[in-house]
Each structure stands twice: as structure tokens, then as C-alpha cells.
Structure 1
Amino acid sequence: MNRQDGRVIRSEAPESWWEAVWTDAPITTQWDDGAYTGPGRGRTPSCSNSMPTMVFSMLSALDVEAGHRVLEIGTGTGWNAALLCHRLGDMNVVTVEVDAHIAAEARARLMAADFHPKVIVGDGTRGYGKDAPYDRIIATCSVGSIPVRWVSQAKPGAVIVAPWGPVYGGEAVARLTVTEAGTLTGRFVGSSAFMRLREQRRNLPPTSDFLDENTWPAGGVESRTTLSPDDVGEWIHMFAIGVQVPDMFCRVSDVREDSYRLWLFDRGRTSWASADYVRGEASFRVVQSGRRELWHELETAWRWWYQQGQPDFDRFGLTVDDRGHVVWVDVPANPVPRWAPGARVRNH
């Protein structure tokens, strides 16, 4: 292992390399869409080999049977495609990768292991219609919207397994069944944290579009809250909040050992809020500005989740139909409420 930059190079340290490969942890294999090639870490990971337990749990949810044809979105290193080939045969596996360099490397690895799936370089949202329809579709990247092409390329009764999450954060693997009417419905089967499908990256506006942090509180309206910012930051909290307030996103700044500032913004660039966490305090300073009261929207969303019995991911489900993407709790007839942009939610 190169201890200065954290890399493990097979030719230099084969034992450490194999140890890293077999560890149950994700391994980043590309940074910044390949723009960063130096030692250590780049800014944003853009390709990885997922942790084995996640790979196997998603393949279990996919529940393939002999003769099934599978479309994989996100070839990555090629490992998942190799597992599918081993189970179903090369002729039944199509894998799509947006990055030509990653696709070429994966194809070479697969060939070296004597696997020969169809490796397509292209936009994952478009799937691959030439070999449709498919019995199963699996995404190894996260989405915020199930692409319509995936649905049109799936057989009735087909299963789509994909990590799904709102803009705010929080994410889980959805196992969805395609109905005869071309809609999708199913439950979430466990939390996840995948890189976003490149064509659906969030591209959120910078803080400077809302205010100059150096002038904070920048004329915002101040109040106090007893809901700690530290009690709304778990992955399931972020999921429940993000589903209800779909255009809100958050950032954190001024991180110290016992305090930090949580920022809330809307994608429409109309409003912002901040909440200051200080360890040991019973109430926390909130500042809000704009036509929306984003902290109060967050509080309302979090309290709804709490009143529902603090459901974990396995109680949530997703239906995709002419209403769009509808998240529900326990049964499809119990949809999660959504706050329309611009709604003023008071929960003082």
C-alpha cells in the first residue's frame, strides 16, 4: 500500500491488494469522471467497486432465473456483469456504461475471465432497446427518477432493482415490478449510498446564489427550535424529509468539535435557512429568509415521520405511474405527503 496517498497497487503490494479487494467495503476506482489521475483522492468519486454485501443483496432482490435476460445500467469494473454471466450465460446479459474508458477496461477484464456480455457505451437513461424486452433491469448507480426507457424495455412482470433517493439525501434500493399497464410498484429493500447516474446528477446551485455567508444572518428572521439539527441527519431522516420536500437540499459549514451550522436551500433559489447545532444545548438558533420557511418545512416533515412510528426503509415503497413517483408507507394507499414549493409551513 502506498501509505501517502492511500492507494493499493497490485504490482507493488499483491498481498495488501488482495486484502483490499476481499474486504467488505466499496473501493473507489475513478475520481472526477477520470479528470483526476494523481495520487490520493480527487474531489468526487465517480466510479467504484461496490461492497460485496451490497452487490449480493441487490442480486438477491433481482431474483434472476435461468433464461432471464438482464439489462445492467453502470458496468463499472465489470464484476457485477461477470456474476450475472456466470448465473445466466453471456448471451443473456447486456451492460451499459457511459464512460468509454471504464467500459473498455471492464470489457478487457471480462474477456480475461472468459465472460462475454454485450458491453454498450451509452447514456444509461436510454437503456439498450435493440435487445429488449428484458426480464430484469438492475442499476449500479442511484437515480431520483426511473427513466421511462427502462420501463418500456421491460416485460410485463419484469423486476427493476435500482437505488433511489430524493435531492435532499437518503437513499434506498427499490425493488419494483412492471405491471401490465406499464406502471411500477414495489418496496425498498435496504439503505444504499451509490454515485448518481451521470445524466441525473443534482447540479445544485452554490450558496453564493442565496447569500454572502460573511454577512450572515443577512437580514433573516431569527427564532429558536427544540429540534436538534443533530437529530435530523440520519440517512432515514434525510430520506423522509427529502421525499416530502422534494426541491430542498442541505449543506453543512463551520464544523467544529462540538458545533456546526446546517444550511437549507431550495432549488428555485427563493429561500434559505440555517440552524446552529451546539452540543449540550436544549434549543438551537434558526435563521430563515425568503418566501418559504425551510426550517419549519423540515420540522414538519421530520415530525410526520416520527408520528408514523419512525419507519425504516423497509416500510417505505414506491409507485411510478401517471402521477409521477409516489413514495408510500406500508401500503400504496398511504402516500407520503409532499409540500408544494412555496408553501408556508408554520410550526413554531
Structure 2
Amino acid sequence: MTSDSSDSSGILLRALLDEVSGELGALDPQTVGAAWAVRRHRFLPPRIWVGDGYEVCDRAESPEAWLRAAYADAPAVTQVNDGEDPGDGDRWPSSSASAPEIVFRMLNMLDVRPGHRVLEIGTGTGWNAGLLAYIAGAGKVTSVEVDAALAAEARDRLRAEGLGAAVVAGDGAEGYAADAPYDRLIATCAVRTVPRPWLTQVKPGGVILTPWDTPWTCYGLLRLTVDDTGTSASGPFSPHSAFMLMRNQRAHLRLFRDVVRDEHQPDESETSRAPWDVARDDLNAQFALGLQLRDVWHTWHENPGVDGVETRLWVATTDATSWAAVDFDGKNENRFTVWQHGPRRLWNEVEAAYAWWLLHDRPGPERFGLTLTTTGETPWLDSPEQPVPAGGPE
């Protein structure tokens, strides 16, 4: 480890810290110290994928570009297609090094102190585990990684840097009971439900911090504090973050293959609610809908001029039993054709969820929270006494 700021990585790191501080404000000195001691580029593989198109960036071929990518405030994809060669097919990210800004933001929110015992879910490259180990101390951090190959690589990097963090290959949803209880638990992958073992493995007064996801949208961070009895935890959401979903909570659905069938005879109706109100740019609206409609997802189909449809919003349940489509003809922005199939009237549910959000003055994630117990979880608005209504069948 080195704190030398005169080499190329040091120059880039200083610029990165200035950029991140401009977004977050002054960083905790221990976070800054960890960033200098645990250099990000030492935890990235020689081949990464960058940009929206997941272009290959290889250190051997383009060392300067690779180093710049290592210290850009952007995620670096470190594995595609769960490690399988996609050939000429589509690439999709299956592991990544998160953007430094969100890493530092979460470290500040987690409030790790020297001597804290920390459990990390999702080791990835090992960089975040290294930062945690530098702050908490040797022997205080356990990190769980579902991909055994990634776990082995991260373990080697941490050993090479002299950082005393234990890396375990396993299912992060189960936590790691052998080193429990923990003062802090942090996930670097998003969850749709908080795994119950996390609650039972964190001390009373301890903190659970995780990115949040719903089938509707991936958005928000959830910070829970465990109560004095250790049987429940509660806390607020905050905006920010976009993380890959925990592998065992993924749902691999493709609308036309898995939901819509030739024999379906949908019911036709009309709506005055524009589909883009609920599913375009307003992340506050999408977050609120996701909390209410926990098993509903959507996708857009641009269909210029075909069958008189310019744009279609598809909405479906994750169990593929109900779906709806809302059509915009490219002309009339006051009336839209609705098609619905299955036991649930999904568009009606979406409209009701959106109306509730409007009624409560368009709240963002920071007004929402969640209470977790050993038997379930309840999202709420403003306080636990005001639970968020749940969509779905009566």
C-alpha cells in the first residue's frame, strides 16, 4: 500500500476525490485515507468493459485508457454474462466495480468505525472490502461472493495488498453466521426483499445498508437500524444508486416469449392517463409505484406507425399471469387505448398507485422507509404508522 500522490494513479485519484467531493461535500477523513491506501486500479482485472455499449478496455492494449477508466467516476464492468463468452451475442453485466461516488456515499452512510465487525454482501473485485478493512481493522471484515472464481480473485488481491479481509464463496442472501454478530452489514448488490438472515446476524443498534430494487425500477438505498431486541429493523430510503440485482432474486422474463400468447384475448378500454407519466423520466413516481406494485414490471416498445401505434407501454406481473398494454397513436395525447389480460387489471392498479402518489404530494424516496421483521417487511411513508398500500388482488 502507498499514499504516494505523485504517480499517475495518484494524480488521477486526487482528481477523482475532488470530483466526488463536489457532489457529496467534504468526505470523511477516514474515507479519504482509505481511498489513498487502497488504490482502485489494483483491484480491477486487466480486462474491463466500459460505457453504455460495454466496450472492451484492455490494460495490455491500452494501459493509459485502462488507468483512466479505473479512476473515472463511473462503474467498470468486470464480468459479462456470468463469465460465459457471449461470442457475437449481447453482452450484459454480471459483476462490476461500482462508481466511486456511490462507494464513498455508502461508506459515509454506513458509518464504519475502527473495531466494528462488518459483513459485506457482494465482494466483486474486493476494492470495497479493502476500504472497509482499512477503516475497521484487520480481521474485522467478512465478504461473501456468490461467484467462486470472483471470490478467489478478490481474495488474492486483498492478500497482495496486506488487507485482512476474509472472503467467502457463498450465497450472500444467507449472510455468514460463522462470524456473526456484526456491527454493520453492507450489500453491493440490489435486493427486492431484505434477506431475513441479515437481520438476525446484525447486533441490536447495528446498521444494514443495501441498494434497493423492484421489478418496476432499480433505485434507492435503504438504511435500516436494528432495534434493541434484535427482532426488527427500520429506517429510511434515500435516492441514488443503480446496482445489479442479487443473483438469486433475478427474474429472467422476456415479454413476448414469457407473457403474451397468441391465444390471449385481452379486454379493450381507454384511459386519459399518459403512459409516460408512470414510466418515463420521473424516478420519484417510479420508486413509489415500485413499492406499491412489488411484482409488476414494465417495458417500452417503440412501434412507429405499425397498426396505428407509435409507442406501447407493456406492464406485466413477474409470474407472467397478467399483462396490460397502453398504446399511443402518435397524435392524441389525451386518450390512450388499453389492453388487459389475466386475472388482474394491471393498468387499473398502476393508475391507482400513481393517484396515491399524487395525493401525497409526489414524495421522493427520502420520504419513504421500511420496517423489517423476522416474518416480513412493510414499506411506509413518512413514518411506520403510515404503511404504503400494496397493489394486487384483494
TM-score if structure 2 supplies the norm length?
0.80
Tell me the equivalent position of 1:83: 131
Contact 2:292-2:389 within 8 A present in 1 as well: yes
Tell me the equivalent position of 2:341: 289
Cα offset for 1:170? 3.6
Counterpart Cα distance in 1 of 2:182 and 2:313: 44
Alignment of 1:94-243 (within 5 A): 94-181=142-229, 182-204=231-253, 206-212=255-261, 218-233=264-279, 234-243=282-291
Q: What secondary structure sits across from 1:18 in the alignment? A: helix
Cα offset for 1:2? 10
**2:316 is the alignment partner of 1:265:** yes
Contact 1:170-1:235 within 8 A present in 2 as well: no
RMSD between aligned alpha carbons? Answer: 2.5
Contact 2:199-2:374 within 8 A present in 1 as well: no
Instruction: Flag the 1:202–1:77 CA change in 2: closer, same or farther, 3 A.
Output: same
Q: What secondary structure sits across from 1:130 in the alignment? A: helix
Cα displacement string for residues 146-165 of structure 1 (whole angstroms, at most 9, x for unaligned residues): 11111111100000000122
**2:378 is the alignment partner of 1:326:** yes
Q: What secondary structure sits across from 2:152 in the alignment? A: helix
Contact 1:205-1:267 within 8 A present in 2 as well: no
Cα offset for 1:259? 3.7
- How many residue pairs were aligned? 338
Which structure 2 residue ranges, 5 or more long, are not aligned?
A: 1-47
Match of 1:300 among 338, 352, 356: 352
Counterpart Cα distance in 2 of 1:279 and 1:306: 26
Counterpart Cα distance in 2 of 1:279 and 1:56: 44
Tell me the equivalent position of 1:19: 68
Counterpart Cα distance in 1 of 2:296 and 2:336: 21
Cα displacement string for residues 20-73 of structure 1 (whole angstroms, at most 9, x for unaligned residues): 11111111111111112658x844311001011111111111011121010000
Match of 1:70 among 105, 110, 118: 118
Contact 2:344-2:392 within 8 A present in 1 as well: no
**2:57 is the alignment partner of 1:8:** yes
Contact 2:49-2:77 within 8 A present in 1 as well: no
Matched residue type, 2:328: Y
Cα offset for 1:203? 3.6
Instruction: Flag the 1:5–1:291 CA change in 2: closer, same or farther, 3 A.
Output: closer
Matched residue type, 2:346: L
Cα displacement string for residues 91-111 of structure 1 (whole angstroms, at most 9, x for unaligned residues): 111101010111111122222
Which structure 1 residue ranges, 5 or more long, are not aligned?
A: 344-348
Tell me the equivalent position of 2:80: 31
Q: What secondary structure sits across from 1:191 in the alignment? A: coil
Match of 1:315 among 364, 367, 378: 367
Percent identity for Structure 1 against Structure 2:
43
Tell me the equivalent position of 1:346: none
Contact 1:173-1:189 within 8 A present in 2 as well: yes
Cα offset for 1:237? 2.4
Contact 2:311-2:330 within 8 A present in 1 as well: no
Counterpart Cα distance in 1 of 2:329 and 2:342: 25
Contact 2:372-2:378 within 8 A present in 1 as well: yes
Instruction: Flag the 1:23–1:277 CA change in 2: closer, same or farther, 3 A.
Output: farther
Tell me the equivalent position of 1:274: 325
Counterpart Cα distance in 2 of 1:189 and 1:222: 39
